[in-house]
Each structure stands twice: as C-alpha cells, then as structure tokens.
C-alpha cells in the first residue's frame, strides 16, 4: 500500500508539477481507509444480525469495456426493473453501515468536493448516490486496480500495465474477498436480496470470478471498438482537463497517456476473448449484450435476458421495456468523437481488433436470418 502511495505521489508530482495537494489527498486516503476499517469493526457490534442475514446469492455481474453500454444496462436492471441492488458510489466509498449513518446526511455537501464533479454529465451522469462500477471500491480500498492504472500510473514514463494484467499480477483473491464484504454490507443497508454489479476488470479474470461466486450470472457487453476507443478516452480526459488542464500538457505526455488508455481497452477485450477461446469458464453462465442489438432490438434482447437471469417477464415489465425499446430505436447520440484528436487510426483499430468483430460482436445477418 505505501509503495503504491509513493508511486502515485511521484507520478502526479512529475507530470503536473503538484506535490503538496497530492500528498494531502493521499494522507486523506489513508485516513479514509482507517476510518472504514474501524467502522466495519463497529458494524459487527451494531449490525451483526443484518450482516449475517445478508447472503450473496446468484449475483449478476456486468463486465466489458467502458462505454460499451455497461452503465445503461446496469442502471436499467437496478433502477427500472429492480431485479437487484447496485452499489451507489458513496456506499463503495464508505462500505461501513456505521459510517453511512453519519455520511448520508452530508452527501449534498460532499458532492461539492467529490471528483465526480469533474465528469461530463452528458457523457456519464455520475455522483455519490449513483449506482456505479464496483471497481471503484477496490480502488478506494487498496489504491489499486484499473482506476489506479488509468488515472494515475498511465502518466508515468514506465508502463505499469502489469498492475492490471492478472497474468502478471493476480489480486483476484484479495479483490473478490473485499467485494463480497462490500456486497453483503450493501444488501444489509438497502434490504436488497440480489446483487447487480459492474466490474470492468472481471473481463480479465472470469475463472477467478466463478471460483469466488459459482452461482454468478455474467453479462458481457460488447461494442464496436471504433466507438469504444475514442469515447473512453473522452470520458477519462474530460475530468483530467477540468482538474489538471490535460490538453495543455506536453504532447509526449498526452500521447503516452492516450496510448495506454488504448492498451487498457485492448487488454479488457483480449482478456475476455482469450478466456472464451480457451474454454476456461462455463459459457452457459455468460450472456453477451451486443450494443447494436441493445439499441435496435432492446425488447427482443430483454425477452432473452430476463429468463437467463432467472427473472419473470411480467406484463408490467414488458410494457416498460417496450417504451425503452422505442426510445432506443429513435435515439441519436449527441456525442461525436474525433479519432485524430486522440491519435487513433480507424484502419489500425479494425486490424488490431479483428477478433472483436469476428468472435464477440453479433452478426446482423445472423439475427436477420433467425427472424
């Protein structure tokens, strides 16, 4: 932990020329970690019965790359269809039930200082009470994982991609043990019965996920890399621009950072693909959510998805899904991303991501022939 703290401090200092503010932030991080640990000890005293009753059973885990529809399907299942409970950001930040009693009334005040204020609300509406990725809880607990790499280590002269490649450094046992504790606390706090989680890094370690949670149902979202790559880079660089004036950094540093964002997405694509090709997990436990189908045939996709999750398609749900499907079919994205702005080349992406088009994305002709 201390080595990662000093590594992060050094990277931010060398890149942005700021040493004092990051040191204060990292000191606050350590205090947060100690407070959460103490709070979770108190939870066993004050909420032991609720925690013992909270069982993680048949969790739904959404995996894939960022900007592939993960947030939409995550919030639709939790907020609209209510098939399970997602993890609000503040509950991932403060997973102690005891601390949440004091923190919850302060959320409007804390939102003014939360890093989420630097995100574009149009591209990704986020906040402390929004259901978000469970990877953030791993980052906030261990200062590690994909967020540690994307927002901090990717600026360094040395490439630290091995930090998030489980073939080089596997932290699955640690991470999934922590996630189980967070999920139990979240179920106890909300009265939920089933977890609906979003974990990008699970794409890289599905065998380990199924080992930790044998009854899990996985939704793998996939979208055209020509859309995913620039959209992800825009999502990440927007808060960095708002906080650190990213586009004013030297071109060498910007290009280094962007190339590692590309490499990180490639790692997520390949991690799932390589596991799929090797046959190391039960494919009957994985449902592929193709972004194109989610936009063009949402109602048809949900007719397949709900039974996979063991959920009933009621008339009420079908009517709700029909309304959403009509909106999806007529929706036109407001966001246009320039490949050149992020140093991307369409032909290179198509070549390097051929396995995504060939093996992961649904072929429109196949669906048409089935119809």
Q: Are 233 and 197 in contact (CB under 8 A)?
A: no
* pLDDT (0 to 100) of residue 369: 32
Please check whether residue 92 lies inside any domain of the structure: yes
Please check whether residue 148 lies inside any domain of the structure: yes
Please check whether residue 19 lies inside any domain of the structure: no
pTM beyond 0.85: the answer is yes
Please check whether residue 225 lies inside any domain of the structure: yes
Question: In a 3-state reduction of DSSP, which class is residue 12?
Answer: helix
Please check whether residue 61 lies inside any domain of the structure: yes
Please check whether residue 25 lies inside any domain of the structure: no
Distance CA 86, CA 129 (A): 11
CA–CA distances in Å: residue 330 to residues 71, 223, 362: 19, 18, 21
pLDDT tens-place string over residues 48-64: 999 999 999 999 999 99
Please check whether residue 30 lies inside any domain of the structure: no
Count: domains in the chain: 1
Flag whether pLDDT at 106 surpasses 50: yes
Question: In a 3-state reduction of DSSP, which class is residue 196?
Answer: strand
* Cα angle value 261/363/259 (rounded, 5°): 10
Range of the domain at 170: 54-370
Please check whether residue 42 lies inside any domain of the structure: no
Average pLDDT over residues 183-202: 96
Give 209 or 152, the one with higher predicted confidence: 209
Q: Are 224 and 361 in contact (CB under 8 A)?
A: yes
Flag whether pLDDT at 98 surpasses 70: yes
* pLDDT (0 to 100) of residue 113: 75
Domain of residue 77, CATH code: 3.40.50.300
* pLDDT (0 to 100) of residue 366: 40
pLDDT tens-place string over residues 333-365: 666 778 999 999 999 999 999 999 999 997 654
What confidence tier does 121 reach under pLDDT thresholds 50, 70, 90? low
Flag whether pLDDT at 91 surpasses 60: yes
Average pLDDT over residues 276-287: 95
């Amino acid at each position: 932990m201390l080595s990662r703290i000093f590594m992060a401090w050094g990277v931010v200092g060398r890149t942005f020329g700021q040493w004092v503010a990051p040191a204060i932030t990292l000191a606050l991080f350590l205090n947060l970690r100690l407070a959460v640990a103490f709070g979770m000890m108190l939870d066993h005293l004050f909420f032991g019965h609720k925690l013992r009753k909270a069982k993680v059973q048949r969790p739904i885990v959404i995996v894939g790359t960022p900007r592939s529809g993960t947030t939409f399907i995550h919030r639709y299942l939790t907020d609209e269809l209510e098939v399970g409970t997602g993890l609000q950001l503040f509950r991932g930040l403060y997973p102690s039930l005891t601390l949440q009693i004091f923190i919850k009334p302060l959320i409007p005040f804390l939102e003014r200082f939360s890093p989420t204020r630097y995100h574009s609300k149009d591209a990704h509406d986020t906040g402390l009470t929004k259901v978000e990725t469970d990877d953030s809880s791993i980052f906030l607990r261990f200062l590690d994982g994909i967020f540690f790499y994307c927002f901090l280590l990717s600026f360094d002269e040395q490439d630290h991609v091995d930090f998030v490649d489980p073939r080089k450094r596997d932290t699955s046992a640690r991470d999934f043990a922590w996630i189980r504790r967070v999920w139990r606390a979240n179920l106890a706090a909300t009265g939920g019965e089933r977890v609906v989680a979003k974990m990008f890094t699970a794409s890289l370690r599905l065998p380990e996920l199924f080992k930790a949670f044998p009854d899990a149902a996985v939704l793998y979202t996939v979208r055209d890399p020509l859309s995913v790559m620039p959209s992800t880079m825009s999502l990440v660089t927007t808060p960095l621009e708002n906080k650190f004036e990213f586009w004013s950094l030297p071109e060498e540093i910007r290009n280094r950072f962007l190339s590692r964002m590309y490499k990180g997405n490639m790692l997520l694509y390949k991690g799932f693909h390589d596991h799929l090709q090797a046959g190391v997990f039960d494919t009957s436990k994985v449902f592929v959510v193709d972004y194109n189908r989610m936009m063009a045939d949402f109602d048809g996709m949900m007719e397949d998805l709900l039974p996979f999750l063991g959920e009933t398609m009621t008339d009420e749900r079908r009517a709700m899904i029909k309304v959403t499907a009509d909106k999806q079919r007529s929706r036109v994205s407001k966001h246009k991303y320039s490949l050149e702005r992020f140093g991307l080349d369409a032909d290179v992406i198509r070549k390097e991501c051929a396995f995504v088009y060939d093996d992961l994305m649904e072929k429109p002709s196949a669906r048409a022939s089935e119809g």
